[in-house]
Amino acid sequence: MRFNKTWKTAYWHGRTLHRWQGSDANFYDVETREEFWVSGPHRDRRDVRYSGVQPTVDDDIRGVYAAFLDGAPLPGREHG
């Protein structure tokens, strides 16, 4: 996932997501109006909004996520 400079638009798997303050979502797909909750990872593995749902970790980032869980900083966050 990548964001534009203002963090109001996210791009993920060919979708364009816009930030909004609505219902249980903080982003929506501009084409389909499908709602998404986008959140960063947490070392305690509570990465999801509702505890019964497991997060989706893309294959291309799985190694970075595993390293983060082991204590490494996230890329771009090495200094805070």
Taking only the tens place, the pLDDT of each residue in 34-45 is 988 887 788 887
- Which residues lie below 8 Å from residue 26, measured CB to CB, with a gap of 6+? 19, 20, 36, 37, 38
Q: Tell me what the mean pLDDT of segment 63-69 comes to.
A: 91
- For the cut 70, the answer to whether the pLDDT of residue 22 exceeds it is no
| Per-residue burial over 5-24, b = 16 or more CB atoms within 10 Å of its CB, e = otherwise | eeeeebeeeebebebeeeee
Judged against a pLDDT cut of 80, whether residue 79 lies above it is answered with no
pLDDT for 5 equals: 87
pLDDT of residue 23: 67
List the chain domain ranges. 1-38, 42-72
Q: Which of 39, 36, 58, 57 is nearest to 48 (CA)?
A: 39
The pTM (predicted TM-score) of the whole model is 0.65
